[in-house]
Amino acid sequence: MGHSHDHSHAHPEVKGKNLLISIGLNILITVAQIIGGFLSGSLSLLSDALHNLSDVISLIISYVANRLSKKDASLNKTFGFKRAEIIAAFVNAATLIIVAVLLMVEAVKRFQEPQEIASGLVIWLALLAIAGNGFSVLLIKKDSKANMNMRSAYLHLITDMMASVAVLVGGLLMKYYELYWVDSVLTFAIGVYLIVVGYDLLKSATHVLMLFTPSDIALEDIAMGICKLEEVDNVHHIHIWQLNDKEIHLEAHVDFNKDISISEFDKILSKIEEVTFHDFGITHINIQPEFGKCDTKDLVVQD
């Protein structure tokens, strides 16, 4: 006998309009930096433009995923599109790392053959990028706390703003001290930073997509919590997975110490729901009741 229970939460509503504004700003910044990068000969400016382009792509993915996640479930999509935002977070994190590697390779090549750069153009375009990305960061800062998808978009924007600050510093050093090798060093540093930022997000998204048990939940503790109920004899064959940032699901076999009726089971199930929700934050449970059944009683069983 299965049961699903949903405890409602007050999750903030993500504002799609803020994402659209951020997309528009980043398209403007990207076009300006690509043109300026070629005119000035600055690799760090082009690398910042490439990062901004990845921002545009990631923001569009985030916007589409945000819209899809609000669609209702259907007969052939019983979970709806609730995992769309997790996929978006995975794609965004992966692009951060790919962009970083490309930048670092180009930085090494350019360091070996430094070129004179039109630093004045670099400075002005870096200031434009800082202003645009800074405004975008403020727009979606609140939404970034809502889910992993918006957090990935927020990370893209804030890292690009910091990269633009580095480009600005490099432009000033080139203008006043003619240290053109700084352009390559900054590009390499931006790449390293992107890898560090992208790795944690990629790891988190992968854990959710692979249906791993959430890192802050211990199966043994859940089993012990349920077994404290006097009617329960044993809990085994547990599966716990995270559907998205808001929902954690649990299914398990529960042995009862006597042959109970369905009405009695419903009362005990309510107790199990309270334990799993209040102590472990689990929002949906599916319990298979058993009595005297000869099967494997291991906590985790390979299906």
One-letter-per-residue 3-state SS of the chain? CCCCCCCCCCCCCCCHHHHHHHHHHHHHHHHHHHHHHHHHCCHHHHHHHHHHHHHHHHHHHHHHHHHHCCCCCECCECCCCCCHHHHHHHHHHHHHHHHHHHHHHHHHHHHHCCCCCCHHHHHHHHHHHHHHHHHHHHHHCCHHHCCHHHHHHHHHHHHHHHHHHHHHHHHHHHHHHCCCCHHHHHHHHHHHHHHHHHHHHHHHHHHHHCCCCCCCCCHHHHHHHHHCCCCEEEEEEEEEEECCCCCEEEEEEEEECCCCCHHHHHHHHHHHHHHHHHHHCCCEEEEEEECCCCCCCCCCCCC
| Lowest mean pLDDT segment, chosen from 104-118, 166-180, 213-227, 262-276 | 104-118
Pull the structure tokens for residue 233. 């004899």
Q: Would you place residue 10 in the very low, low, confident or very high pLDDT band (cuts 50, 70, 90)?
A: very low
Query: According to the model, what pLDDT value does residue 9 have?
Result: 42
What is the value of pTM for the model shown?
0.73
In this predicted model, what pLDDT tens digit does every residue of 48-101 receive, in sequence order? 787 777 778 777 877 887 788 778 888 888 888 888 878 888 887 888 788 888
Q: Would you place residue 12 in the very low, low, confident or very high pLDDT band (cuts 50, 70, 90)?
A: very low
Which residue segments constitute the domains of the chain, with CATH numbers given? 16-209 (1.20.1510.10), 219-290 (3.30.70.1350)
- Indicate the burial class of 267 (C-beta count within 10 angstroms; 0-12, 13-18, 19 or more): exposed
In this predicted model, what pLDDT tens digit does every residue of 133-146 receive, in sequence order? 899 889 888 877 76
In this predicted model, what pLDDT tens digit does every residue of 190-238 receive, in sequence order? 788 878 878 888 998 899 999 999 988 999 999 999 999 999 999 999 9
pLDDT at 271 over 50: yes
First and final CA of the chain: distance in angstroms? 19
Q: How far apart are CA 285 and CA 267, in angstroms?
A: 14
Q: Can you tell me the mean pLDDT for 168-189?
A: 86
Query: According to the model, what pLDDT value does residue 72 have?
Result: 85
Residue 207 makes CB contacts below 8 A (sequence gap 6+) with 214, 215, 242
Query: According to the model, what pLDDT value does residue 15 have?
Result: 53
CB contact at 8 A, 159 and 136: no
